[in-house]
A and B are shown apart, each in its own frame.
Chain A
Amino acid sequence: MTDTEVVVVGGGSTGCGVARDLAMRGVDVTLVEQGNLTHGTTGRMHGLLHSGGRYAVSDQSSAQECIAENRVLRDIADHCVEMTGGQFVQLEGDPDEYFEEKLAGCRECGIPVEVLSGQQAREEEPYLTKSVKRAIRVPDGAVDPFRLCVANAASAEEHGARIETHAEVVAVLKNGTQVTGVEVRHDSGPGKREHRRAGERETITADHVVNAAGAWAGQLGEMAGADVAVRPSKGAMVVTNCRQVDTVINRCRPKGDADIVVPHEATAILGTTDVEVDDPEDYPEEQWEVDLLIDELSKLVPILGEARTVRSFWGVRPLYEPPGAATEDPTDITRDYFLLDHADRDDLAGLTTIVGGKFTTYRLMAESVADHVCGKLGVSADCKTADVPLPGSEDFSVLREYMDEFGLRSPVGRRSVQRLGSRADEVLTTDGPNPVLCDCEAVTRAEVRDAIEGSGTDLNAVRIRTRASMGNCQGGFCCHRMAAELHPEYDESQSREALDELFQERWKGQRHALWGEQLSQAALNYALHATTMNRDRDPAEGDGTLDFGRFDSGAPNRPEETEARDGD
């Protein structure tokens, strides 16, 4: 008797998608993730919901999958998707042939397109450069990968799955040539993460293990004794403080760095670079990448040259090549996904690896994994994930109407309901007052508490669920407010440690945006936390030897206290 039927390793979009799919088919699933949900590539992508246009020339089968899944996600994940539309923009001097190829490719793949004149393109996107020659309009969109991933995990849990975050796989268990489970190391014990709670190891036996570890899939394969040649490739993204564009702007030319701007919530995300790295955990985040994105993309949208950027982040693409391909340039490695049946491939039963692929097609990838695993387990059940909406996307349109009920001012209410979708009612109905904790992103106490309920003391998990601390101030004004919500359920030292962790995480990305307004903001945050709160010299973090008696205890003769008056 095993602990669970299937262990899924990896809490990114693919892993969560696999867990949901299997759970909906009645399979008992346990998902383990070394960090937060979205810890890897999912949490570090540009938020593009592909129309398929980007692959319409180079990889038409991927393009076709993208447009199909694009339509599915609009249905099942409405509250995670914003259909902004997109343009492939040709500038004066960009090759005509490529534009024509792109147009033809889109049509061949069934991607709805429309050709815009330069003038029409600029009417839609006034900040485009005047040297726009023409553009192809495509149904690109923006998607919140955090929300989508969390919703998949929540759905899986609703269907009986166990989701363990902060549970790193330290060994793959085998019995001869049969994989029989995994051993994990919990950061803070099973269940929700709690700072300052001791971790432990746990053995989880299973009939089948799915390796959905993304950029870490090679390392997991190695633990099992299988060679999985993941070729991690890093990409940088720069986040601006407002939406310079309202549609996805792609440069229409053959593949290259720095050719896309995605409007995302209240920001725009500039992407990206493509450089192979050795270690998905440890690679250089470089200044040239930030400068390249700004300089190159301001040729497309000139105001980006002056834009305030709030941070930059890097993601690692889990690219995969079948043995023997040995592509030189990582930008030439296929973006296709691969399902590796290790029983066939390595004579290692009970293990399946899913690698490569794209965020937009995560559901399709999950479906093929679930089909495969169900085949192995002898389960016959149909996939439902393309038809059943995710938690938050049920009856969404109805809810837009009555956000006033929650007593929130309209921009706050609107943004809360957009994030929460059909969960708004459940989350925002509170007994006490519901003040805004994060002003930049309009996140209220109720939403933060709901996220804490889901994720314990991990404020970065709260952040990705709510967007709190992701705006202009990068947490300067709200990190401590978020941490305060942990107390008294969690004790003061846990709250303090969670605050420090979030504050440091927010600082990390901001370091790549420290000039102009954001340097001023950083100096203000530093002043608020170090000067006003004295968090940098917190005596509670010290050795406890602060001699209070050496300091002023008040004037010897306090001024006489005024007698009570009856002024009312």
Chain B
Amino acid sequence: MAIEDDVVVVGGGLAGMVAALAAARQGAGVRVLSHADSTLQSASGLVDVLGYPAAAGDRNAVASGRGSEAVGERPAENGVGDGTTENGVGDGTTENGVGDETTENGVGGGTACGPVADPFDAIPDLPERHPYRTVGVETVREALALFDEATGNLYRGGHTDRNALVPTHGGTVKPTARYPATVAEGLASDDRPTLLVGFETVTDFDAPLAADHLRAAGVPFEVRGATVRFPGEFRADAARTRLADALDANERVERVRDGGGRGAGGSYSTTLPARRALAAAVEPHLDGAERVGFPALLGQHETEAVLADLEAELGAAVFEVPTGSPSVPGMRLAGALRRACREAGVRFTTGNPVVNYETTGNGEQDGEIAAVRVDRNGATVPFHAAEFVLATGGLVGKGVDSDRESVREPIFDCHVPHPEDRYDWFADGAFGDHPFARFGVAVDDDLRPLDSAGDATFPNLRAAGAVLGGYDFAAEKSGSGVSLATGLAAGRAAAREVFQ
């Protein structure tokens, strides 16, 4: 019997889940097809909307200060390979990926490029084909409202339009619109004296170094760092999630203490609950700090209780510093959104990749998409629906693929604008103005992917999130916001079509 839904969303990351949630809230029957863990697992869990005006290629002394290799050498000519001329609205070929934003912003947005205090103010100044411009600033606001409601107590930041500056595990600060509640006490615009605590075996976060770095960044608070041993017997390569589990369960752990002075009776051991043992390890370093930051591993599920216990033991506020993969806050967020989706009636089918599709017409280009096919150990299973949302991610999530000759979207073979010569896909400095960062499908005003002629590829396919081209989420710090806003817009549009 054929599997049939109103809306099938391909991809279970932030954009996919928000699209599913938005469509389901409108009453559509929605299924999410997801293959592997989404990039949420690798992302910090911060929800950026817009941290910087679109890149101008003069970011950071890192790239420009090294002398020999200039950054952003070839700004405008990048679009050339595509063989299209000037962009008109709806052409979407040259403009979406590559060249013109560089020139545009190199002039206007340039100077020193400090972070944007109010992302909603800055959105109208983005290039015309930026996904935010496509969906409009109101949609961004609505998407955040949906996000706030769906994640409930898990997130903060909705009280203001302004960005927050959050300390990163690399010791910088970065602008973000929403942040996990566990991060709230750590904001850089708060002047309370701060202690950062790292663990010997958690190698992505060196607390004393991060503290010195924050000081170099001019933060308005006193900050010190200390490295302690995570209490208990864990292997040196224990995953952060394993340490989080120990705090969740409040496992009793051995605590070895020095028995007074050197040689005076050696050491003795005792067992303590993990949270208390952790607080005891940190306490000697407190020295007047009013808040204490840990790498983000304070429990996967019992986070609130872990924080509360640590705060009570330490007599100071406690916060998390977000890290990269594996990201505990990212996992918490994925879990919360999945719950919200399930409550709204969304079905999930996971573990197998969507490999291709079926159309209603004879010729591929003529019909609508009738079904997507999932590969299950070599057998293909079709999933039918009236409307489809493509939310498979970008290069990182492998929603955009490439070989030595070209860049493509692998499931529907949607057109991905890119320079012909692969040596025009990147800039010379590591933080240069990379054309590859903007790779993705070009879409019309209703988020339908465009073919190379600028026409909608399928009437019932919309794209959301990082599979979209035309923006550099890493430079702008806009990844989550674009996923939310385009996810909402694509999901709502799909539901609208279902009920039309």
Contact = CB atoms under 8 A, between A and B. Distances in A.
Interface of A: 287, 291, 294, 407, 409, 412, 432-437, 444-445, 477, 480-481, 484, 487-488, 491-493, 495-496, 500-501, 503-504, 506-508, 511, 514-516, 519-520, 522-524, 526-546, 548-556, 558, 561-565, 567-568
Contacts of B398: 520
A552 B163 contact: yes
A190 B223 CA distance: 34
Contact of B437 (A523, A544, A563): A523
Contacts of B425: 514, 519
Contacts of A549: 189, 220
A520 B217 contact: no
30 contacts: A433-B236, A480-B170, A484-B203, A504-B69, A511-B423, A514-B426, A515-B422, A516-B403, A520-B395, A520-B398, A524-B42, A527-B396, A527-B479, A530-B474, A531-B44, A531-B473, A532-B324, A533-B169, A533-B172, A534-B172, A534-B477, A537-B51, A537-B59, A538-B62, A538-B172, A540-B213, A545-B114, A551-B175, A551-B188, A563-B312
A534 B209 CA distance: 16
Most chain B beta-carbon neighbours within 10 Å: one of A437, A477, A530, A534? A534
A548 B220 contact: yes
Contacts of B309: 564-565, 567
Contacts of A550: 117, 162
Interface in B136-187: 156-157, 159-160, 162-165, 168-175, 184-185, 187
A435 B201 CA distance: 6
Contacts of B434: 526
B282 to A, nearest CB: 16
B229 interface: yes
A504 B422 contact: no
Contact of A533 (B168, B220, B394, B436): B168
Contacts, number: 272
Most chain A beta-carbon neighbours within 10 Å: one of B52, B66, B309? B309
Contact of A534 (B114, B157, B164, B173): B173
A563 B309 CA distance: 8
B250 A568 contact: yes
B474 A496 contact: no
Contacts of B157: 552
A531 B473 CA distance: 8
Nearest to A481: B203
B348 to A, nearest CB: 24
B212 interface: yes
A487 B216 CA distance: 14
B458 interface: no
Contacts of A508: 69
B403 A515 contact: yes
A487 B215 CA distance: 15
A291 B59 contact: no
Q: Which 9 A-B pairs have the closest CB atoms?
A: A564-B312, A533-B170, A534-B174, A492-B212, A484-B206, A507-B430, A552-B164, A523-B395, A530-B474
B402 interface: yes
Contact of B213 (A492, A520, A532, A563): A492
A559 to B, nearest CB: 8
Contacts of B313: 564
